[in-house]
Amino acid sequence: MKWFVIRNRINKLLKKLDTFWKSHSSIDSLSLSDQELETLMIMEQMNLIECKRAMGGAIYDIKRGSQSQIYSLERSELWFNRIAGFIAGLLSGLTIQFIWSIIAGIINIQ
């Protein structure tokens, strides 16, 4: 359950950072809560982002990491596969039931 919460935080923060990068704003306009800073460190360890820090440890630049696009694609692909699998399961169940009723009807006629 913990990783589900962390993944959810990462997705939210990636979206927030995407809008930040697209607006070309300064880092001062990006206000981050303590929870978001914690998530930022996790994202940095996963190579989703690259943070440049000043001598005191304050972040003065955040850049897209090598894995950020891949992470977003994997997450959306995972949900697409889950939904497609659910629909395929429903359709195959209904199709098998329909075919079975046709076969049972043919056997009963003869």
Q: Mind listing the pLDDT tens digit of every residue in the chain (110 residues)?
A: 677 788 888 888 888 888 887 777 777 667 788 888 888 888 888 888 888 877 877 777 777 777 666 666 677 777 788 888 999 999 999 999 888 888 888 877 65
The residue type of 57 is G
Distances (CA, A) of 32 to 12, 16, 20, 104, 107: 12, 10, 12, 64, 69
Rounded to two decimals, what is the model's pTM? 0.54
| The predicted structure's pLDDT at residue 60 | 76
Q: What local confidence, expressed as pLDDT, does residue 89 receive?
A: 92
* pLDDT value of position 109: 64
